């Protein structure tokens, strides 16, 4: 294979992760167009020159690591399991806000006296029957082994499995498991107990890149910049509304001052205040105020506006909030020394 | 069961009503999170402390009435059927805008001379065969009996049924029915005729609360306040756009005056008018106007703006319009004497 | 049939075209309400008096042409195939942006030396076996015949087919085809090659009207006006965001001047610039700027804003952008001499 | 309504019960033809003159009881709940083999010392708080009240509910429930415990008839006869195979005797034994045996056949096994005195 | 295209007709294997050398007529519409038992005095307004024109349409229609009335062949033979069961005689009667009888068997009943003179 | 975990393999009952004492090998990949007839001169770029490595992948692949060429058992016996019909002799021939014949029967054909020395 000149971003193929990744990118303004449902390539018009591929989340980490991919979206769990120690996998964004789950240690409910990892560490040396160590079924052998050693749960043997880990203890395939959970219902249905302090890693979707490509190819660096601009501005905007209100007052300064007195008001730099014209005419007593407010505080903010004479509060959605250069891009340049 | 300290809102379980209620709340900013699809509880982050339950619409009315629920969403039909006469069910909002239908009286098309409730009242005394009174199949015996008595359609006998009411007359299960209709197609398919003046009640989704809880528990009152803030502001915003336009004119006052002359313009308090800067520079002739317009009048409003020199009209969506305290909340406090 | 007094718009029934048309109209603010799923009529509240019908795209063109319909949405392909030469079908809008496809000529991959229409024209005279001319299977006989004659591919015979055109050559039903393609995958699967320069027509959804109705009935003309107002304003808004930013500067004029220096900034008429009030108070150094920017340039626009001192950039969605009278409506009036 | 001359069978409308009833009847050879999916009538060609209606299972019992229906298929639970004490509902077949479930008493897992109905009876008198008796939510008030009185669980109050019974105790709507269960999973998910000896009734689909119609109308009696012929012959055949085997032996008698010695062989009247002709010709040593064997014993029967010289065992399916007059029809005539 | 050496059978592609044809062939033992869902070819292992293609039903008739197909399955409606007058389309089997529908004439319910074709013929000459003849929308112009001329409904004009014929009169696209109906519900929904004596053709799936191929290619004739063997034997077996019964009697002759006395018994050639061996042993009194009975008479046949001493009646399914050479194959050879 | 006393059979969980396995077992008479869809256990009433579990096909092989499972159904591919060299996995049945696929070597279409494994072996030594050996992406490293070594394709490096192997060469993740194919379409879509002689293994579903359990636990041996009885008898019956025909002839011997002369007739041991009684009575000339015929020869067999005087041929389905002890069970006992 000759040296590539294209720029590649791999997205998870199949399942909830694929649809969530596509929905997320679309919401960011990074719509993915797949000209033909039977081909494996797509493109994102907002990032010209970027080729999108679809792969399994685990293969994405390996591909970014070995350099056959420039960018990828995958979960923290698989990234930490497969990124290796050479630093080839650079994490551009570690909290895209979807694909959340946890990797946890779980034991049969019936195990007497084992409720926490500490209990397990105490009992592990004596547990094996007939010389066989504690058998842990998992799909995450790197993370699980590291965790067990850190917590001094020894000796142990890891048993790989393709699926249905949660039945492994019941059928004697293993003694306990280290598995992904989201709601815990599956564990409970199979009479397994997640151990206290037994969360190995909390995972969500991340954007990763090949470090060498970022350093060597300016067009890859530029694509990272563009992706982070859209993603950061979108995620910030997710939390906010833009609020237009009318307020009665003597002057623009007085209005601004009243607003500063309220804890949940005050825009990014301070409110915009303009005159409003009423049918009554005559001397101006009304001003239009325009501020950005956090979504979760919208009702409290409105109540504060009312308290200081505001009314006619109109709230509109926000698509993006851009600040200075994307924080993560700045950090990346520092780390790469560029 | 000990006294509850939680705050409960019950939503309809199953069917079109469930999905419409969830969509409505999400649109209001009151997203419902159900951590586990197999459990019956959920929460609404925008109203901390509120527990969401899923129940049948009829059980919701009963639960609110007996106090095992604080709030509920159900239809006018079931609320009026089951709320009883003790005033325990307080209607916080009576027109959430979804789940609309009508409860109507319908007779076989073949009944000679029976086209209206008046006809029915005239014929009812002589209709029974062999001493049996007019048999009416229904699931709403309270509302139907009250309606028949008011309209002097007597004597009658109500026959309860679980479903497929519309075939009851054809198979001799009853003589006529009192049933919910939305489009009337099912009645026509079964050769039934809805009677003139035979609409017993027109129904849509409502938000109800337990009166005693509103009075006795301040945290329930506070939750009612928050729910109504979101719901009223959302419903008001549904009907409006925010319009940004440029207008040529001599002064801000002149622009405002022109706008007041147009019937479909004029914001909540009067337009916001600012200067605009053109490439030409020099003396300023353009101003930016910012008003709120009703959706249904948007094209007429734009045409009026053009007529008075407006151009470059940009229209953006509105998420909420908050006015003074929610009207329904104010009314509620008055009724409760708080 | 007596003379109609209603105003009719026909939409494609069934398939992707129906759902895309409904989605498009909804996005324009022209929501279609179908009171009863089993009836063939609907209405659009935003255009009072308009009756919506659902028909096959080809029948829509014929209906508009013969005057049983006033308006219709159909594809360029069928409009050109069926509109006839009498000018009865008036194209109000020729690029609604959905339903795109191409009508192309395709031959079996195995035909030696036939890669373009020119090749075909050269070989056609000698191709027929035993006196039979080149047989072309198609559903578009008018367009295909016209194209073949223009390109001097003669002699030929057209063979009508209801479906599965792409297998026609393989089973000897015809020698080649003229068929709609979107991705080309179906052609390739059947070992057919689209000819170079063989695209007969590129198609997308259009809004058409009966010319006589536009001229004779003022209420039809008014409906055309309203439809085009919504459609043009929506399509224009699809491409834009409204941007609110804060900028540090000496005066409104200075800010405006800086913005004019940037290629991707500058609103429809020039930016709106207002004062912003900071907590620091004292002499004012910050101004709020409000401009409309094309979606595809949003990141570049933000970077230019930053370069001239902008920060706190808030981007909101735009529902409509109205300019002067809809361009297509003006053109229509000119053509109709009204 | 005038006297009916048609013969009516009502089937459950909607849900699993409808499809299971249709599948069952089809398997019996009583295929149901519904000419039009939007009408409520159908017919069964194998029983000429029979009209099939679709209704809710509970309404079917009421309709058979009041005589607007002649036959119906419904569950034991609803039949016992709604058949009343007048004997109008005659149970023609009480075990059609589908629609199985149980009505059981269940209490919150957390109730100390309540594991059986006896525990409940002991604790009930003292359980009410503030004078309110034990509240039991149920949809089966007749059966539940009778059961509670028989078991001396008193005092109690029944609370009707439309659905989601299993959450009633958790939300304080009732103290415990009497509900249908199939697998018990839903109870466990809601932390409810089915009481020991708390099964009120075990239910499955039954065929019922109006007693007066059976007595007064010979055509209804004849339809009952035909329905039971098909149903009984089908259910009996469900359990059997017809077995054709070759056996080496001296004579037909010897073969028959050998078969009689085996516990799992022997047809309804004794095996059919014929000569078989082998290629070898000469003196006949092989005989063909033909017996009916129960499905569940097929492998054991084959092993016994092998043990006595059988081979080449061919097993075919059986559609019906008719014996003398259908047992249930005979019993019905006796009960009705016909 | 060179001369074909393969043997082709075309099946309807898409919709109910495709799945019914595949189900029918599978039930006949002519399972269709499609190695790859994306290709248009399949095969039927039971008829080696046969290639299966999938096409639209109308194209199948044309393909069989022009000889690009040897066999096809299509509906009577399309065959009669498109087979032409040259006899190239030979109907091998005219009643495969699926795909049934009718082509009927229907008029708006509101037409005064038009209830039958005779009414229409009487009124047609005077009906046209302003010199335009009666306009009939249809997809079957050959059959409709022939029918109208035969019934002397003149003058008329046919209007072709792609779909939604049933709305054509309401929107003025035509005055009446000639359309396919199955249940009549769609007509009624659109206020159309099927005319008395207005059924143009009753249609069901047929097996057709190219006459020239049957005559010239022995392998095509052989395939026709095999297809008809399976189809006729399957259709005959659909109506029958094989019955095994035990009867008490003196001799085989006596048993046979008793059976002949019963109208619904008696196999194809007479019953098979064998001895049965009972546990009692001693003199033989039981015989096994084996006959074929029509499905619709099974209960009556069993009752007759019981009446003459039968019991233990076991009924098994029948897959095929072969008689002498397939009747339709014999007839075909005669017609073709082979 | 203590020693198990249950008997376990694991079936594939999820996907086509699960449904095919359940369908296959049901067709064999080994219906699987899963009392609760949320639990992982089920049972097979026909094999009392057997517990059914659901696991991934690969885990099934490992579980049978390590002894946590007694029986399993999995594919040849995974069995050969994971069974190891210790003989713990005993293959009871190697051709259950479903789940068929092939593991093949495939290279990019564009590789010059590489069309067969021999070509690859010739080119492999020189192919690596910059010292990296030929990289083969696969999920079957054991089978692939063994195959490459046998075919002398060296040096090579295997690259593990979770999925989407077919895009690996295009994106540089590997040079070529070793992957499962069923129709080859996916390979072609990705421009990959399966190599001549490159089929590593042809796979289908097999029944496997733990060798030690078969030897040590008689109840496991007995379950193996029962499973093989059902499976072998079912698979044999799949290919056959039972045929009942009437034949004219002088004697039973003459009939039998005629039948023996026909190649496609003759049952397992010879036909059963009985007298038939005709209405004519008098001297008997008709006999009933009963033979088993292979499905694929049914038409030829009928034609041969007709040729020797047969008529009235009735064909019934066969559920099982049992012969002597199941061949595979006998072989197993020999191998195990039992």
CA atoms within 13 A on the CB side of F181: 24
Tokens encoding A175 = 């003694």
**CB B234 within 8 Å of CB B18:** no
**Within 10 Å of residue D148's Cβ, how many Cβ atoms?**
24
Chain centroid to CA F22: 14
What are the b/e assignments for E93-108, b being 16+ CB within 10 Å? Answer: beebebbebbbbbbbb
Tokens found for residue E195? 């005319």
Which stretches of chain F sit within 8 Å of chain A by CB? 1, 4, 8, 13-14, 38-40, 53-59, 62-63, 66, 68-69, 129, 161-164, 167, 170-173, 175, 189-190
Distance CA F9, CA F63 (A): 10
Cα separation, A18 vs C326, whole angstroms: 41
Q: pLDDT band at F256, cuts 50/70/90?
A: confident
pLDDT band at E1 (very low <50, low <70, confident <90, very high): very low
Q: How confident is the model at residue D2 (pLDDT cuts 50, 70, 90)?
A: very low
Query: In this predicted structure, which of B29-43, B110-124, C308-322, F323-337 has the lowest mean pLDDT?
Result: B29-43
Q: What is the pLDDT of residues B172-192, one digit of tens each?
A: 889 999 999 987 778 887 889
Phi, psi of B313 (to 5 degrees): -85, 120
In our burial notation (b when 16+ CB lie closer than 10 A, e otherwise), range A24-50 reads bbeebbbebeeeeeeebbbbbebbeeb
* Short-list B102, B94, B65, B328, CA closest to B207: B94
Region of residue D312 (phi > 0: left; psi between -120 and 50: alpha; otherwise: beta): left
pLDDT of residue C2: 45
Q: Are strands F134-138 and F176-181 parallel, antiparallel or unpaired?
A: parallel
* pLDDT of res. B83: 94
Angle at F293 between CA F291 and CA F296, to 5 degrees: 165
pLDDT given at position A208? 98
Instruction: Please provide residue F310's backbone torsions phi and psi, each rounded to the nearest 5 degrees.
Output: -80, 155
Instruction: Name, in order, each residue with C-beta under 8 angstroms of E330's C-beta and a sequence gap of 6 or more.
Output: none
A-contacting chains (≥3 CB pairs under 8 Å):
B, C, F
Residue C281: predicted pLDDT = 61
Burial A187-206 (b: 16+ CB within 10 A, else e): bbbbebbbbeebebbebebb
Compute the distance between CA of residue D225 and CA of residue D236 in angstroms, rounded to an integer. Answer: 16
User: Given pLDDT bands bounded at 50, 70 and 90, which one contains residue E2?
Assistant: very low
> pLDDT confidence of F283, banded at 50, 70, 90?
low
Residue predicted with more confidence, E87 or F227: F227
* B contact set with D (CB within 8 A): 1, 4, 8, 13-14, 38-40, 53-59, 62-63, 66, 68-69, 129, 161-164, 167, 170-173, 175, 189-190
Set of chain C residues whose Cβ sits within 8 Å of the Cβ of B279: 260, 266, 270
CA distance to B57, B89, B338, C292, per residue, from B86 (Å): 20, 8, 20, 58
The residue among E182, E299, E301, E309 with the most chain D CBs within 10 A of its CB, best to mutate, is E299
Q: What percent of chain D has pLDDT over 70?
A: 94
Q: What is the ipTM of this complex?
A: 0.87
* The pLDDT of residue B283 is above 80: no
CA angle A231, A236, A241 (to 5 degrees): 130
Summarize pLDDT for E194-228 with one digit per residue, the tens: 999 999 999 999 999 999 999 999 999 999 999 99
Angle at B204 between CA B202 and CA B207, to 5 degrees: 130
Task: Cis check for the bond before A155: say yes or no (omega within 30 of 0).
Answer: yes
- Chain segment B223-267, per-residue pLDDT in tens: 999 999 999 999 999 999 999 998 888 888 888 888 888 877 765
* pLDDT tens readout for residues B77-123: 999 999 998 889 999 999 999 999 999 999 998 888 899 999 999 98
B191 in Cβ contact with B108 (< 8 Å): yes
Q: Which helix (H) or strand (E) holds C19?
A: helix C15-28
- Residues F189-244: tens digit of each pLDDT: 788 999 999 999 999 999 999 999 999 999 999 999 999 999 999 999 999 999 99
Do A109 and A193 meet the contact criterion of CB atoms below 8 Å apart? yes
Kindly list the strands in the beta sheet with F272-275, ordered across the sheet, starting from the edge strand earlier in the chain.
Answer: E320-322, F310-317, F240-248, F286-294, F272-275
Instruction: Name, in order, each residue with C-beta under 8 angstroms of A304's C-beta and a sequence gap of 6 or more.
Output: A262, A263, A264, A265
Question: How many Cα atoms are found within 13 Å in the side-chain-facing hemisphere of C180?
Answer: 15
More confident residue, D283 or B162: B162
CB of C207 closer than 8 Å to CB of C146: no
Residue C10: name the closest of C86, C88, C73, C96 by CA: C73
Arithmetic mean of pLDDT, E126-147: 85
Between the CA atoms of E211, E215, E216 and E221, what dihedral angle is there, to the nearest 10 degrees? Answer: 100
| Site of tokens 């209990």 | A119
Contact C110, C120 (CB under 8 A): no
| pLDDT score recorded for residue A259 | 87
Query: Which residue numbers in chain C have pLDDT < 70?
Result: 1-3, 37-39, 128-131, 266-270, 279-284
* Residue numbers in B near C36 (CB within 8 A): 183-185
Is C275 within 8 Å of A271 when comparing Cβ atoms?
no
Bond preceding residue E155 cis, omega within 30 of 0:
yes
Give the pLDDT confidence score for residue F1 in this predicted structure: 39
Query: Per CB distance under 8 Å, which residues of D are interface residues toward F?
Result: 183-185, 241, 244, 246, 274-279, 281, 286, 288, 295-296, 298-299, 302, 306, 311-317
DSSP-derived pairing of the beta strands E176-181 and E134-138: parallel
pLDDT, position A11 = 96
pLDDT of residue C267: 58
How is residue D173 written in tokens?
Answer: 């709507």
Smallest CA–CA distance, residue A286 to chain C, in Å, is 16
Six token digits for residue B328: 């329904």
CA distance F233 to F23: 16
| Global confidence as pTM | 0.86
C-alpha distance from residue B192 to each of B167, B175, B178, B279, D34 (Å):
9, 11, 11, 70, 21
How far apart CA B55 and CA D172 sit, in angstroms, is 13
Any idea which of E251-255, E282-286, F25-29 has the lowest mean pLDDT? E282-286
pLDDT in tens, D75-117: 999 999 999 988 899 999 999 999 999 999 999 988 888 999 9
Which residues of chain A are modeled with pLDDT < 50? 1-2
Mean pLDDT, chain B, rounded, equals 89
Residue E221 structure tokens: 């004739």
In the predicted model, is pLDDT for residue D51 greater than 80? yes
> What's residue A266's pLDDT?
63
Provide the greatest CA pair distance for chain D: 96
The answer to whether the beta carbons of residues F156 and F197 sit under 8 Å apart is no
Q: Report the 10 Å Cβ neighbour count for C52.
A: 21
Q: Where are the alpha helices (DSSP H) in chain B?
A: 15-28, 57-66, 76-82, 117-123, 141-150, 185-189, 211-216, 218-237, 252-260, 298-307, 327-336
Which of C28, C227, C270 to mutate against chain B (most B CBs within 10 Å)? C270
Residues of chain C in contact with residue A271, where contact means CB-CB under 8 angstroms, are: 276-277
Interface contacts C/E by beta carbons within 8 Å: 82
Most confident range (mean pLDDT) of B197-206, B307-316, C169-178, F266-275 is B197-206
Q: Which chains touch F (3 or more CB pairs under 8 A)?
A: A, D, E
Structural tokens at position C38: 């089993």
Tokens 């009707």 -> residue: D160
Cβ(E281)–Cβ(F298) below 8 Å:
no
Residues in chain C with CB shorter than 8 Å from the CB of A226 are 299
- Report the 10 Å Cβ neighbour count for A252: 21
Query: Strand B156-160 and strand B134-138: pairing?
Result: parallel
| Residue A192 bridge partners (DSSP) | A108
SS (H, E, C) B84-95: CCCCCEEEEECC
C242: which residues sit within 8 A by CB, 6+ positions away? B244, B314, B316, C290, C291, C292, C293, C315, C316, C317, C318
- Mean predicted lDDT score pLDDT of chain D: 89
Question: How much is the pLDDT for B166?
Answer: 86
Of residues F7, F60, F87, F207, the one with CA closest to residue A161: F60
Q: What pLDDT does residue C299 have?
A: 93
Grade residue B205 by pLDDT with cuts at 50, 70 and 90: very high
Q: What is the pLDDT of residue D1?
A: 39
Q: Which residue of A has its CA nearest to C185?
A: A36
Nearest Cα neighbor of A192 from A125, A253, A264, A114 is A114
Euclidean distance between CA atoms D325 and D330, whole angstroms = 7
Least Cα distance to A10 among A54, A48, A46, A50 occurs for A54
pLDDT at D175: 92
Q: What span, in angstroms and rounded, lies between the C-alpha atoms of C306 and C312? A: 9
Q: Distance (Å, rounded) from C-alpha B189 to C-alpha B176?
A: 15
């Amino acid at each position: 294979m000759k040296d590539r000149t294209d720029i590649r971003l791999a997205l998870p193929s199949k399942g909830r992760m694929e649809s969530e990744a596509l929905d997320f990118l679309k919401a960011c303004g990074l719509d993915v167009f797949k000209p033909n449902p039977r081909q494996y390539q797509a493109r994102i018009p907002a990032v010209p020159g970027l080729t999108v591929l679809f792969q399994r989340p685990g293969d994405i980490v390996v591909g970014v690591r070995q350099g056959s991919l420039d960018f990828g979206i995958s979960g923290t769990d698989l990234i930490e399991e497969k990124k290796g120690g050479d630093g080839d996998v650079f994490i551009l964004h570690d909290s895209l806000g979807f694909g959340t789950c946890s990797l946890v240690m779980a034991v049969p409910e019936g195990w007497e006296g084992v409720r926490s990892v500490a209990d397990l560490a105490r009992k592990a040396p004596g547990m094996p029957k007939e010389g066989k160590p504690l058998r842990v079924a998992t799909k995450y052998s790197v993370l699980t082994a590291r965790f067990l050693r850190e917590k001094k749960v020894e000796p142990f043997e890891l048993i790989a499995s393709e699926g249905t880990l949660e039945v492994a203890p019941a059928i004697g395939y293993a003694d306990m498991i280290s598995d992904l959970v989201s709601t815990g219902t599956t564990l409970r249905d199979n009479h397994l107990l997640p151990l206290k302090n037994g969360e190995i890693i909390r995972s969500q979707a991340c954007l990763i890149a090949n470090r060498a490509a970022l350093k060597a190819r300016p067009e890859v660096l530029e694509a990272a910049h563009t992706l982070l601009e859209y993603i950061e501005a979108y995620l910030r905007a997710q939390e906010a509304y833009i609020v237009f209100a009318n307020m009665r007052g003597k002057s623009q300064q007085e209005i601004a001052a009243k607003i500063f007195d309220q804890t949940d008001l005050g825009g990014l730099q301070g409110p915009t205040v303009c005159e409003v014209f009423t049918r009554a005419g005559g001397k101006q007593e009304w001003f239009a105020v325009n501020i950005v407010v956090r979504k979760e505080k919208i009702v409290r903010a409105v109540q504060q506006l009312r308290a200081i004479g505001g009314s006619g509060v109109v709230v509109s959605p926000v698509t993006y909030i851009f600040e200075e250069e994307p924080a993560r891009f700045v950090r990346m340049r520092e780390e790469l020394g560029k």
